Amino acid sequence: MTHKFAFVGIAGKPNVGKSTLINALIGEKIAITSDKAQTTRHRILGVKSTPDFQLVFVDTPGIHESKHVLNQVIVKHANQALLDVDVMLWVVDRKKQPYDDKLYQTFKTLNIPMILVINKIDQLNSKAEIDALIMSYLSLGEFEAVIPISALKETYLQHLEASILDYAYEEGPMFPDNYTSDQQEHQIISEWIREKILSLTQQEVPHSAAVIVESIEENKKQKTLDIRALIIVERESQKKILIGKQGEKLKQIGMLARHDLNKKFDRKVHLELWIKVKKDWRNKMQDVMRFGYGVSSD
């Protein structure tokens, strides 16, 4: 059998389960997920290798109408990431909404084979409901395939993979077979911390936070990884919320992040977290760039 290869874009509105899907497809946590919309802010590569094929999945930020400079930049990340893929997965969830029509038209102009992935079917009650949802999307136009799945429960992922492989071409692997993601250590740390902020805070606080890793040091004596990170928020009131009563909230964020990072790096992590206010940073291009969300200018 010949070896196959493809770049696979994963795109759609915020919160439909794109990052949950890339993690399930790779079988490892690559991207952070949360119940809040606009969790992903970068394009993230996840690589799945088998003796027969290598699929490079590209997770993208949820596409939405943008208000902040930050959001405009992250939507640009998503659009740019889709330019070079061989096939794209348009991920939707339980209900077709008016914005989907616009998204469909935008994606069609990319001229890339598009598979419609209907996610979260574990939340639908019957096959009839799934069929009705499929029909409502088919009213938009044609797709190469329509695959209902549950990324969370890992249902029908083999169907999806088989369908993707129809669009892979004969080519050797591009990455070593143990390579699963293109994220650097500092990116992983900052994202893992941000995930805990997303899960423990509400409303504007999670969206206003950026995490900058200031230093990562191997502590040979203690056999720990010593990390110092800075959480940036937009207002003093948000800083107060993040610190919490007697520092409880920040402590909790640190504890949960440390727990995950211990596992990820397979060693004890010592985490020092600081909070700083940078007024209105999401609306200042310079800050958006400085806090790690840069995108090329074209």
Ligand X SMILES: Nc1nc2c(ncn2[C@@H]2O[C@H](COP(=O)(O)OP(=O)(O)OP(=O)(O)O)[C@@H](O)[C@H]2O)c(=O)[nH]1
Q: Which stretch binds ligand X (CB under 6 A): 125-133, 149-157, 256-264, 286-294?
A: 149-157
Residue 123, contacted partner among ligand X, Mg ion, none, CB below 5-8 A by kind: ligand X
To the nearest whole angstrom, how small is the minimum distance from the Cβ of residue 32 to ligand X? 7
Helix runs in 60-201, H state only: 69-82, 98-108, 127-138, 157-165, 185-200
The answer to whether residue 181 forms part of the interface with ligand X (CB under 6 A) is: no
Residue type, 266: D
Helix runs in the chain, H state only: 18-26, 69-82, 98-108, 127-138, 157-165, 185-200, 204-208, 236-243, 248-265, 285-288
Q: Which is nearer to ligand X, 28 or 122 (CB)?
A: 122
| Residue 34 DSSP code | -
The answer to whether residue 150 forms part of the interface with ligand X (CB under 6 A) is: yes
Q: Which is nearer to ligand X, 31 or 230 (CB)?
A: 31
Taking CB under 6 A as the rule, which mask of x and - marks residues 24-53 in contact with ligand X?
---------xxx-xxxx-------------
DSSP β-ladder status, 4-12 and 53-59 = parallel
Q: Which is nearer to Mg ion, 61 or 148 (CB)?
A: 61
Of 119, 180, 190, 201, which one interacts with ligand X (CB under 6 A)? 119
Q: Which is nearer to Mg ion, 21 or 269 (CB)?
A: 21
Residue 71, contacted partner among Mg ion, ligand X, none, CB below 5-8 A by kind: none
* Chain CA centroid to CA 96, Å: 21
Which residue's structure tokens are 């419609």?
A: 116
SS3 content of the chain, % helix, strand, coil (to 5): 40, 25, 35
CA distances from 64 to 8, 81, 103, 264, 280 (A): 21, 15, 9, 31, 20
The answer to whether residue 20 forms part of the interface with ligand X (CB under 6 A) is: yes
To the nearest whole angstrom, how small is the minimum distance from the Cβ of residue 92 to ligand X? 10
The answer to whether residue 54 forms part of the interface with ligand X (CB under 6 A) is: no
Binding site for Mg ion (CB under 5 A): 18-19, 39-40
| Binding footprint of ligand X on the chain (CB under 6 A) | 14-20, 33-35, 37-40, 61-62, 119-120, 122-123, 150-152
